Structures are given as structure tokens and as C-alpha cells.
Amino acid sequence: MRQVNQNKRYAEHHESFVNLEIPYIPMIRTMDFTRSSGNRSKVPHFSDSDRLIHFMSVNERWAFLQILYNYDVIDVYEQWAIDLESSMLICQELNIKHPRIPRESGWAYQTFDLLMKLDASNDDLCEEDVKWLAIAVKSSHHASNKRVIDKLLIQEAYAHMKGYEFCLITDDEIRNVYSETLDTLYFHYQLRPSTEIYYDTWLSTFRGELLFNSDMRLGKLIKAVASSVGIEDEMSAHFFCHALWCKDFTMDWEQRLRYERSAESLGVMPL
């Protein structure tokens, strides 16, 4: 992308971040790539039904899911770009070369893979009600590359300048069964339309069944609860995944969610 096009893209991207009346536009989008998208993906936003979140890798998506599940996330801004003036100044101060556009002479905008806005109202260590977490997601192999290290230094310096917490997450930390399970559960984060009226009844029924039949195969248990509540088996399975995501239940996250195993062996229990 030529410099003039990058500048135009950045202006559009920045305006969408500061102007709440405009839908957020990431600096880099999955459709920007003409070749096979590979592991790039888009998933529905967790609170904005009109928005899709653009991930450039599975690692980015899994990092996002782990943060979303474990923190009180207000919003996420993926592929969030640093303005050139700031990144150029940082490079001068750090005495490193500013990254350029591949096969071009122009300057390349540097981006956080994820910029997450967190609710810190219950955090005694935070003076503000909101805190920002800037995240770089890299493979452990690439994280030791000199060019990548320079980019990470730029991101970390900018985050420090803005008062953001900066975090580097490597694939060693997120390539696990826990992430795989969260990936499956995320698509059940929100109850489907018109099903909410059944959820509380299903939840109390499942808790009762779990108390007396925890040795039953999970799939059979889910079907038994569906029959008791008077709903389809598929809806009962949806409710179970939603219950895990919203922490009405928990499980042994080091195990894969296999429905042919008993609820007890999977560590399924109410919270």
C-alpha cells in the first residue's frame, strides 16, 4: 500500500476510533489481502451486533478470547495504529530505524494487534475506572527477530507514553486446549433470540441433574435436561456452552470438551 493510501487509511481508522458515532474501522482488515486468507478470520463482536472483529491469525483470536473471558472488557480495537509522528519520534529516541512499507520507500504505520478497554472500577490498584491494555501477539520464534523486536520496542514506548499497559503474548502461552475450548464457546456467548425465557429453568434443572447424575455422559445429561425442560436437544447444548462462557458453570480447562465423557470426569460444576 503506497504512502498516500496508508495516510488516507489511517485518517479513516483514527476518526472511527475517536468519533463514537462512526463504526470502528481497523487499520488492517482481512479483506485487504488478495491471496488466500489462511488463518485470518472475522468473528462477531461480543456486544455490538453490527460489528465484526478482524484477526490476522489464530493466535490473535485466542489471545483476545482469553482476555475477554478473564477480564471485564468494555471494548476491543483490533489492528490499532500508532500515528507516524509519534512512532518516528520514538525511533529517534531509541536510535532504531523506522519500519518502511514493503517494496516501497514510505513509512509503515505500526499497529497493536489488540487494544482493549477494560473496566477497572473494582481494581484497587488502578486510580481510574477504565484502563487500557495494548497487546502484541507473536510466535515465540518471531519474537526474537531483530526487526520484530524493534517494532515491539516502538509499541511498548508508545503504550508507556499514553499510560497504557503493554503486554506481549506468545503462542507458547495460548496454543492450548483452554484456547480451543474458548473458541468453541465464544459463539454461544449470547443467548439466541427468544430462548432467554427458558434459560433460568434449564440452569436450575441442569444443576439438579448434575448433583445426582454427574457420572452420566455429558451428552446424555444435556439431552435429559432438554427433555425435562421441554426444549430441543440442540438448544440445551447451546445453553450448556453459554453457561460455561458466562461462568454459571466451570470445568477442567486442561481437558477437551468431549460430550461422550461424564460431567464428573470433565470437572463440570456450578460456580
Assigned CATH class of 3-175: alpha beta
- The number of CA neighbours under 13 Å toward the Cβ of 88 is 7
pTM of the model: 0.92
Helix (H) or strand (E) holding 250: strand 249-250
Distance in angstroms (rounded) separating the CA atoms of residues 215 and 81 = 51
Full pLDDT tens readout for the chain, 271 residues: 578 789 999 999 999 999 999 999 999 998 887 664 458 999 999 999 999 999 999 999 999 999 999 999 999 999 999 999 999 999 999 999 999 988 777 899 999 999 999 998 888 777 789 999 999 999 998 888 999 999 999 999 999 999 999 999 999 999 999 999 999 999 999 999 999 999 999 999 999 999 999 999 999 999 999 999 999 999 999 999 999 999 999 999 999 999 999 999 999 999 9
Q: Do domains 3-175 and 179-270 have the same CATH topology?
A: no
Judge whether 100 and 107 are in contact, CB under 8 Å. Answer: yes
CATH architecture of 179-270: Orthogonal Bundle (1.10)
Count of beta carbons in the 10 Å neighbourhood of residue 160? 13
Locate the domains of the chain by residue range: 3-175, 179-270
